[in-house]
Amino acid sequence: MKKIIVISILLLISSIANAEWISSDSINDPAKEKLCLSLISKEISKKAKAEPFEMDSHAIEMMRGHHPEQTFVVVHGSLYDCMLMDGTGKFDIASITNVEGWSWHRIEPPKPKQHEPSIETSEGRDIAWYLCKDAYRHKFENENMEYDHSFMDIISVGSFDEVFVPKNKRKGKGKTKHNFIAGKKVEKYDVVVQGKAFYGPANPDLTAVHFACLLSPMFEVKAIQYEW
């Protein structure tokens, strides 16, 4: 069946003052929500997992005035609306809304405690860099090489955009397992530091080692990987 993907009619209705927000875990009939999730899984070709959100009680009342079985589920930041379709008599996805509005919004999980000074400041980035560099040098020692200096490439939050491609992470034809450092997944608020360490003696160039550190939001070292 052709699915109608629209910006929900909920967003076209003027705001209602003093909205009463209802948590997603109290909105739906569990059996119908499970069925809606199974339909979404088929739609997106992978298992759908419901995300927490809140919805305005007036909007629920208005929408269910015509379809009492109407079920609302948020998956990947979009609100899916499942109901008994008038034209087919089947319970199916009626609409997908990917813009939050007055009638619904996602509930973001609380942020974990973060290091102060934060990674958003130059002081915080300097601290993260020196922690990573020192942790790398403590982990990697080569008696045949003489350390010369280090150079910071990039600091990012919640993602690992590889400056280098570690050989031990290659999959198939040069593919890599992204957002993992030394087998540990990079979580949303984790800090990723990447740099290079140079070793001599120069002959005529120095030898470079690329390294990446995974730090927690509090700058605890969770994982290190490096590659010649």
**Residue span of the structural domain in which 177 resides:** 122-227
Give residue 155's pLDDT. Answer: 96
**Binning pLDDT at 50, 70 and 90, where does residue 165 land?**
low
Give residue 148's pLDDT. Answer: 93
Distance CA 23, CA 64 (A): 17
One domain for residues 13 and 102: yes
**Binning pLDDT at 50, 70 and 90, where does residue 189 land?**
very high
Domain boundary among 106, 139, 157: 106
One domain for residues 94 and 143: no
Q: What's the average model confidence in pLDDT over 150-168?
A: 80
User: For residue 81, which phi and psi values (nearest 5 degrees)?
Assistant: -115, 110
Q: What's the average model confidence in pLDDT over 52-81?
A: 96
* Region of 219 on the Ramachandran plot (φ > 0 left; ψ -120 to 50 alpha; else beta): left
One domain for residues 127 and 209: yes
**Residue 196 Cα distances to 66, 127, 139, 148, 153, angstroms:** 63, 16, 14, 11, 7
Tell whether 71 is covered by a domain. yes
How many structural domains is the chain composed of? Answer: 2
Give residue 201's pLDDT. Answer: 87
Domain boundary among 74, 106, 138: 106
Distance CA 153, CA 151 (A): 6
Instruction: Summarize pLDDT for 10-51 with one digit per residue, the tens.
Output: 443 444 445 699 999 999 999 999 999 999 999 999 999 999
Compare 202 and 167 and report the one with higher pLDDT. Answer: 202
One domain for residues 80 and 164: no
Give residue 164's pLDDT. Answer: 63
How many other CB atoms sit within 10 Å of the CB of residue 147?
A: 15
Distance CA 78, CA 95 (A): 10
One domain for residues 61 and 128: no
Mean pLDDT of the chain: 86
**Binning pLDDT at 50, 70 and 90, where does residue 167 land?**
low
Instruction: Summarize pLDDT for 93-145 with one digit per residue, the tens.
Output: 999 999 999 999 999 888 899 999 999 999 999 999 999 999 999 888 766 78
Is the Cβ–Cβ distance between 15 and 102 less than 8 Å? yes
Domain boundary among 48, 71, 106: 106
Give residue 1's pLDDT. Answer: 43
Tell whether 114 is covered by a domain. no
Q: What's the average model confidence in pLDDT over 207-212?
A: 92
Distance CA 188, CA 52 (A): 17
Q: What's the average model confidence in pLDDT over 186-210?
A: 92
**Binning pLDDT at 50, 70 and 90, where does residue 202 land?**
confident
One domain for residues 136 and 79: no
**Binning pLDDT at 50, 70 and 90, where does residue 5 land?**
very low
